[in-house]
Structure 1
Amino acid sequence: MDNHLEHLPILSRGRHRNPKRGACFMELASYLAGERWSDHPACTHPLLAALARLVNDNVDDENRAALVPLVPSIIGLTGDDLRVDARIALRCATTALPVAAAERQLALAVSVLAAEEMLARLDGAPPGRLSEASRRALDEVPHAREQARRFSRAAKITEKGFRRYAAPNAVQLAVVGIVQACVNDPDALLRRLLEETIADCAAMLRGTPPTGDTLADLPTGPAGAAVTPEAPVRA
């Protein structure tokens, strides 16, 4: 791969008509996968692809170029298991929650609880189970945590609603929360988020070892789920 990087389209923001005009992360993936040129290729799970497009569009040029080696790892990571959507949403929300501005913390905390509730439901586990990563992230924002729990107890979420609205909303909220956070290097955090989410998906879809503890579910206090408003990603 490294020997051919200089011959690949240059990564830049947004859609591109053809490789001569550049490429976003997912257009480059379609190119390498031998698919029709598209930023919505079939080779990658739609929600993972949405995260990759958002990261691509929200880092600077230098950090975007550094994403190129990640592109091959996203090819072939696709499937219909709703657990994948829930893991992606959970990784995004737990990463952004501790650094996000106060006005975004409630929505992100609700996203954490919604993803955990969906995973518990799909696994046939009792509601209220939280991963260690979720517990730590929620403990960073105790006020938002308690508000989110009250909100979630009063709301119900369907599997269709989670896949269509709540999970994409969590990804969008997380990226915006990181971009606007008061941290030294938001681009580095966005890259790490994409790397770890790819690793999570590979662990689920290919059986490769995970890189973080988001995949380890540990029982803690009560949790719930809620439908959050739809947040558009680049179509």
Structure 2
Amino acid sequence: MITVPFIPESESQLLERAEAIAGWSLGELADALGVAVPANLLHHKGWGGQLLERYLGADAGSKPEPDFSRLAIELKTIPVNSSGKPLETTFISVCPLTRLRGLRWQESPVFHKLQAILWIPILGERQIPVANRLIGMPVLWRPSPSEWQLLQQDWEEIIERVALGEVESITARHGEVLQLRPKAANSKVLTQAIGPGGTTIETLPRGFYLKIPFTHALLQRHFSAQG
């Protein structure tokens, strides 16, 4: 059994820890931490991320701040196939659906969450048992100026539509790199939103997600540069 590390004090220390388990399976890491491995993730969504948070010393918990608050770095595990392509979009932040007047990009949770992300790919194809899924090499990413421009443009266009009462007509196809999708445990979880003509409606909570082509491209750039 390994000792759970203290909260990392530097980026290099965090990366060193993450690199040390590249090639391990989730089962090996769970055993080393004394954690039981679920048979599947159907009722344990986020289990892999929580396991990595524990090992790496994430300190934010459920607070609305980056997982490694001292370093201002967010942790994102990203399931990929054998070719390294992400298998799903990546959740970033819940979208506010009311009280949007005066909200600026630089003050948004999305902007703050995207400042720096430690990506940890996990070979996550569904036919692979959870315990056998392999942990990949970490990628510490900060958006480039051109990436920031795309992200801001998508966020502003989506927020404008939400503010105009059009939340119900926004689909996952909207946005070039960022999309808005329902985020709720079930269809009975509703929240207030701005409706047509400024009315108040009940709708599913929404979240901002990074699209697969965007995360695929950033992983490819990093690993091709390393190679």
Report if TM-score (shorter chain) is over 0.5. no
Higher-Rg structure is 2
- TM-score when scaled to structure 2? 0.28
Structure (1/2) with the larger helix percentage: 1
Structure (1/2) with the larger strand percentage: 2
- TM-score when scaled to structure 1? 0.27
